[in-house]
Homo-oligomer: A and B are copies of this chain.
Amino acid sequence: MNASDTPVVGIVGGTGPQGRGLALRLGAAGVPVWLGSRDVARAEEAAATLAAELGDRAGSRAPTGVDNAAAASAPTVFLSVPYSAHAAVLRELAPVLAGRLVVDVVVPLQPPPNLGVVVPAAGGSAAEEAQALLPQSRVVGAFHNVSARLLLRLGADPECDVLVTGDDEAAKAAVIALTELIGLRGLDAGPLANSRVVEGLTAVLLGLNKRYATRHAGIRITRIGDGGRP
């Protein structure tokens, strides 16, 4: 896939760090992005900042600031809202999101100082919750473990594989292709039920950052793509 084949990507909640980071990387790869917010003025401001960052970079395309409902009308929609707003936003946008590919990047986290402790599993995962609330959409989980701050620095390598979960194989393949378009390795991490592990890994990584006085810890899967050497 190259960017000219890529349908528009909408980002609901696109003004947060993860939303802006993904918008910047997608824009750098030439993907048309509708960056959404509840407040169009804030979306336009974020889009303008990213456009300035992209400058006249070859092959790039500046994102467009829109409201969340417009972002949700793109064929592929990233969800990047705080977990506290997740269910409410999905309920509101469910009619618009019907029939679309929805990429849930939301991670349930506990408030500090327990940011590094996984959320008790009662609710399963944000992605499973999204699929339950959006029975007419195809929900895929991805990009949970990649540092937003590194995405926002175009020159930085996040050194992080993207574990992609979902129950629709074609939808998952499309998200893996998008992942590779922005220069990250996407791996099929199994059904949507595995999201509880992938989302929880973000809490583990945030705890590692704190304990090891580092920043932006990521994950790599080893011994994949080496021809199955022993």
Q: Report whether B220 and A216 are in contact in the complex, using a CB–CB cutoff of 8 Å.
A: no
A53 located at the interface, meaning its Cβ lies under 8 Å from any Cβ of chain B in the complex: no
Complex: how many Å from CA A108 to CA B149? Answer: 35
* Residues of B contacting A159 in the complex (Cβ-Cβ under 8 angstroms): 222-223
Q: Report whether A194 and B222 are in contact in the complex, using a CB–CB cutoff of 8 Å.
A: no
Residues of A97-119 at the interface with B, using a CB-CB cut-off of 8 Å, are 116-118
Residues of A199-230 at the interface with B, using a CB-CB cut-off of 8 Å, are 200-201, 203-205, 207-208, 211-228, 230
Q: What residue in chain B is nearest A195 (Cβ atoms)?
A: B118
Complex: how many Å from CA A43 to CA B205? Answer: 38
Q: Report whether A217 and B222 are in contact in the complex, using a CB–CB cutoff of 8 Å.
A: yes
Copy total for this chain: 2
* Residues of B contacting A198 in the complex (Cβ-Cβ under 8 angstroms): 204
- Contact-residue size bin, chain A (C-beta under 8 Å from the other chain): 35 or more
Q: Which of A19-27, A65-73, A183-191 contacts B (4 or more CB under 8 A)?
A: A183-191
* Residues of B contacting A201 in the complex (Cβ-Cβ under 8 angstroms): 197, 201
Q: Report whether B188 and A211 are in contact in the complex, using a CB–CB cutoff of 8 Å.
A: yes
* Residues of B contacting A216 in the complex (Cβ-Cβ under 8 angstroms): 223, 230
Complex: how many Å from CA A194 to CA B214? Answer: 19
Q: Report whether B197 and A118 are in contact in the complex, using a CB–CB cutoff of 8 Å.
A: yes
Q: Report whether B204 and A163 are in contact in the complex, using a CB–CB cutoff of 8 Å.
A: yes
* Residues of B contacting A224 in the complex (Cβ-Cβ under 8 angstroms): 208, 212, 214, 217
A86 located at the interface, meaning its Cβ lies under 8 Å from any Cβ of chain B in the complex: no
Q: Report whether A190 and B207 are in contact in the complex, using a CB–CB cutoff of 8 Å.
A: yes
Contact pattern, A 114-147, Cβ under 8 Å of B = 1, otherwise 0: 0011101110100000000000000000000000
Q: What residue in chain B is nearest A199 (Cβ atoms)?
A: B197
Q: Report whether A215 and B203 are in contact in the complex, using a CB–CB cutoff of 8 Å.
A: no
A196 located at the interface, meaning its Cβ lies under 8 Å from any Cβ of chain B in the complex: yes
Greatest chain B CB density within 10 A among A208, A218, A226 is at A208
Question: Known contacts A159-B222, A190-B116, A190-B204; is A215 also within 8 Å of B197 by CB?
Answer: no
Q: A118-B193, A218-B222 are in contact. List 16 more A-B contacts (CB 8 A).
A: A117-B190, A117-B191, A118-B197, A121-B121, A121-B122, A160-B222, A163-B204, A187-B212, A189-B207, A189-B208, A194-B207, A205-B221, A212-B224, A214-B226, A219-B219, A220-B222
